[in-house]
Structure formats: C-alpha cells, structure tokens
C-alpha cells in the first residue's frame, strides 16, 4: 500500500474536513530529496493506516495549496489535526522523526 496522491484542492479540502489526522507529503517529480522521503511516507501510510490518513500532493499541479500554506521548499510534510495545520516538517528526515511528530498528535 502506498500513500495516494490527492487530486486537486477540492479533494484536499474534503480530506481536511473529514480526517481527524491528515498527513500530506508535498512533493514534485523533479525533486531529488522528495524521492528519498517517498518510501518513508508510504511506510507511514502502512504503519498509521488505522490512525491517520497519509497522502501525497504534487505541488506542480497544486500551486494554490502550496501558496495557501506557505510551502517554499520541498519535501515538506504537513500534519493537520482536526483540519488545522499543526506542524510542517521540511526536508529529508529519518523515519523516526516523522513518527515521533505524528505520535504527538495521536496522544
């Protein structure tokens, strides 16, 4: 199972409203570090499948979302709790850093 791509701002907004904990990997096909983070995001999707919704968002086709949340460099992992942006992790990080960030919002 891999993290699915969000198909546009409408779907993004629907997920924000419906998911108590939403993790969004802001990525782009041309981004080298994003390729390093991608398998970790897929692993998050598996490990947290029953507790959080983990998705990917291609910023090239969703520039409005990037602008809305001030995403200036990628990879950036946004964590939303109850529809509010709780934390943004920028750059390639070890898996444990993503899980410890998520675990804070599950407690």
Packing angle between helix 32-47 and helix 95-106, nearest 10 degrees? 40
Contact 56, 6 (CB under 8 A): yes
31 in catalytic set: yes
Task: Give 6-70 as a DSSP string.
Answer: P-SHHHHHHHHHH-SEEEEEEE-TT-HHHHHHHHHHHHHHHHTTTT-EEEEEETTS-HHHHHHTT
Active-site residue identified among 22, 24, 34, 74: 34
Active-site residue identified among 3, 23, 31, 45: 31
Q: Please list the active-site residues.
A: 31, 34
């Amino acid at each position: 199972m891999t993290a699915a791509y969000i198909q546009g701002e409408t779907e993004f907004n629907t997920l924000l409203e419906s998911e108590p904990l939403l993790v969004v990997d802001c990525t782009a096909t041309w981004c080298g570090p994003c390729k390093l983070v991608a398998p970790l995001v897929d692993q998050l999707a598996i490990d947290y499948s029953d507790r959080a919704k983990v998705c990917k968002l291609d910023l090239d086709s969703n520039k409005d979302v990037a602008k809305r949340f001030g995403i200036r460099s990628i990879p950036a992992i946004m964590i939303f709790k109850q529809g509010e942006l709780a934390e943004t992790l920028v750059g390639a990080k070890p898996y444990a850093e993503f899980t410890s960030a998520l675990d804070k919002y599950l407690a």
